Amino acid sequence: MTLIELLLGSVMAVIVLGSTLTVLAATNDNARHQQTASDNQDAARIYLDRLARQLRNLASPSLFSANYQAQPYAVDSASNYDLVFRVVGDTMPPGSLNTANVKRVRYCLDNAQPSQTLYQQEQTWTNAASNMPPALPSTAACPGTGWTTTKKLVSVAANRVGGQNRPLFTYNSSDPQRITEVHSEIFVDTTPGTPAKETRLATGVTLRNQNRVPIAGMTATATAGHHAILNGSGSEDPEGMPLTYQWYLDPPSPLPDCGGTPVPASCIGTGVVFEKDLTAGNHRIVLLVKDPAGLPATDEDTRLY
């Protein structure tokens, strides 16, 4: 073999080796990207499973208060990218005054570019009864300050990447007191802006422990002699619980507490049906109903008697 042939053989060997290393590196990069995508998809699935489990077991605090003076709902705040609610913790610290072991849980999406991180924050307490929880920590930023713990759950949530607006959370009501369904949809993309496809994961939960606002419904009938027949049978509680009925005549705003002493003059009676002799003229009659947890609703009627 001549020197030239040896050199040519060496060059060919280097070229083949280089090509092999390039293919190997590309294969390793692809495997690494696939593993990263798989890890983030698994993290997203764990998040969805945890969220669904917690939402199915909401800690409606009124369930743990003998006098029903607790806040009667478990969802503290709800927006497209931020959800705060209360659940029962797994283990109660010895001597805790929070006998129901209620805690707040927050899931929120940090909108920083290019990576968007999904966080879980928790607020726990032992020095306050479950029916008198401490103030809600800050939700002005994600993650916020004042929370007991903060965890990163998914580091490549792509719901808002590139100016998109795909809600992480959607609800069946804009009022936290009336929310009974929560849907969560997360898009996972480890390489946003590339042809690689993102992964969509979603779940939906019905809040079986959420106490909902009652509905107040009344009719007022004026009869001879300026007599009023008031009927609140159009009221109902979504959970089928019994309601209390308080009737007001020309009340101020806000409605006064009829349990005080002396009883305010605008408090005229209780019961589903109530009758009252009035003075001649226009009168505003208000019905206030409350469920066993103290959640209120009102209806009113103004007419000439």
Return the pLDDT at 64. 42
Return the pLDDT at 67. 37
Q: How confident is the model at residue 25 (pLDDT cuts 50, 70, 90)?
A: low
Per-residue tokens: 211 = 């106490």
Mean pLDDT across 23-29? 56
**Interatomic CA distance for residues 128 and 99, integer angstroms:** 9
Return the pLDDT at 291. 86
CB contact set of 235 (below 8 Å; sequence gap of 6+): 214, 215, 216, 217, 218, 243, 245, 272, 287, 289, 297, 299
1 has a pLDDT exceeding 70: no
Angle formed at CA 210 by CA 205 and CA 214, multiple of 5 degrees: 130
Alpha helices in the chain (DSSP H): 3-56
Q: Which run of H or of E encompasses 247?
A: strand 244-249
Sign (positive or negative) of CA dihedral 152, 76, 177, 238: positive
Return the pLDDT at 112. 74
Q: Do residues 299 and 230 touch, judged by C-beta distance below 8 A?
A: no
Q: With CA atoms as reference, report the closest residue to 187 among 161, 218, 158.
A: 158
Return the pLDDT at 89. 86
Return the pLDDT at 35. 77
Q: How confident is the model at residue 178 (pLDDT cuts 50, 70, 90)?
A: confident
Mean pLDDT computed over every residue of the chain: 85
3-class secondary-structure state, position 16: helix
SS3 content of the chain, % helix, strand, coil (to 5): 20, 35, 45
Q: Taking the complete model, does pTM exceed 0.85, yes or no?
A: no
Q: Which residue has the tokens 């109530």?
A: 274
Q: Do residues 300 and 288 touch, judged by C-beta distance below 8 A?
A: no
How many other CB atoms are there within 10 angstroms of residue 93's CB atom? 10
For 118-136, how does the pLDDT look when each residue is reduced to its tens digit (9 = 90+)? 999 999 999 877 667 899 9
> In residues, how long is the chain?
305
**Interatomic CA distance for residues 181 and 170, integer angstroms:** 8
Return the pLDDT at 23. 56
**Interatomic CA distance for residues 11 and 93, integer angstroms:** 72
Mean pLDDT across 164-190? 91
100 has a pLDDT exceeding 90: no
Q: Tell the burial category of 173 from Cβ atoms under 10 Å away from its Cβ (0-12, 13-18, 19+).
A: middle
Who has greater pLDDT, 65 or 96? Answer: 96
Who has greater pLDDT, 207 or 26? Answer: 207
Q: Do residues 82 and 109 touch, judged by C-beta distance below 8 A?
A: yes
CB contact set of 117 (below 8 Å; sequence gap of 6+): 109, 110, 152, 153, 154, 155, 157
**Interatomic CA distance for residues 140 and 124, integer angstroms:** 19
For 199-235, how does the pLDDT look when each residue is reduced to its tens digit (9 = 90+)? 999 999 988 777 778 899 999 999 999 999 999 999 9
Return the pLDDT at 66. 40
For 28-83, how does the pLDDT look when each residue is reduced to its tens digit (9 = 90+)? 556 566 777 788 889 999 999 999 999 988 866 444 444 333 445 688 999 999 99
